[in-house]
Amino acid sequence: MDDPNHHTPGYAFLLSAERGNRNAMFMVGKALLDGDGCAVDPAAAVGWFRRAAEGGHPPSELELGTLFERGIGVSQDLQAAKGWYKRAGENGILDAKVNLARLLDDEGNYRAAFPLWLEAAQAGDATAQFFVGRAFQESLGVGMDGMAAVEWYRRASEGGVVQATFNLGQMTFFGDIVPRDCATAYACFRPLAEQGDAEAAFFLGGILVNGWDVPQDFAAAARYIRQAAEANIPLAQFQLADLYERGLGVEQSDAQARLWMRRAADNGDPTAQARLTT
């Protein structure tokens, strides 16, 4: 009787793999991971990837790194994962360099991670651009450079990395290592707040209520500060109480002012606690 798998892609790849074709070995490994035309067998997949990788097949080196990192088909071994990522990276696989940088970063080896992040960032990887920005902001493996951090965060933000957008907003809001620019901070925080980010809403409310580099708008400020207050940010609750007390952007209400002041105090805001005891 014919083999029931005779017409499946896995069968054809298996024949080629057994004859030593490393691309076919890789495809058999993928089939065994995914159950494509065969039963799922991660341990057998590791065997095929290893055979191909030991023969100098970069995609298999990357796969082995991933499997060792995640403990799939083999005991988790981050040292082995780093070794395979390093080999794959040296053989031109950019994703392997990103993965190696991530593992090095996780263990605090920022000096070794930085050149890998930078190479991937320069090649257009948005995640790597974020980590390069963070490295320049926090002096992780490289000297502090606020303007470089801003530029890399901007690129990562344009690539869709939300945390880069938030960090860029914070940097330009506080102005610690770059000139303060609340107009840029506003542009960063507004879309995040509209998507439900309470911290971004908190910063946005502060910018609008004070008119820092943007037109003062108490009504809009109150909306954003309320969003942050309802997310249990104590300082936002204190600020919302202040707006109710003064009738700025909301209808004046001593009752609402007391309610939000109490919530701020209960959540540990020292100014609210002092206000309630006087």
181-240 tens-digit pLDDT? 999 999 999 999 999 999 999 999 999 999 999 999 999 999 999 999 999 999 999 999
pLDDT for 38: 87
Residue ranges of domains in the chain: 1-107, 118-180, 192-278
> Same CATH topology for 1-107 and 192-278?
yes
Q: What is the pLDDT of residues 117-139, one digit of tens each?
A: 999 999 999 999 999 999 999 99
CATH number for region 1-107: 1.25.40.10
pLDDT for 257: 95
Checking if the pLDDT of 243 tops 80, the result is yes
pLDDT for 118: 98
Question: Exposure string (b/e) for 117-134, b if CB count within 10 Å is 16 or more?
Answer: bbbbbeeebbbbbbbbbb
- 2: CB partners within 8 A, 6+ apart: none
d(CA 127, CA 95): 11
Say what the pTM is. 0.87
Nearest Cα to 268, choosing from 230, 231, 238?
238
Top CATH class, 192-278: mainly alpha
pLDDT for 10: 58
pLDDT grade for 5, boundaries at 50, 70 and 90:
very low
For residues 244-261, give the mean pLDDT: 96
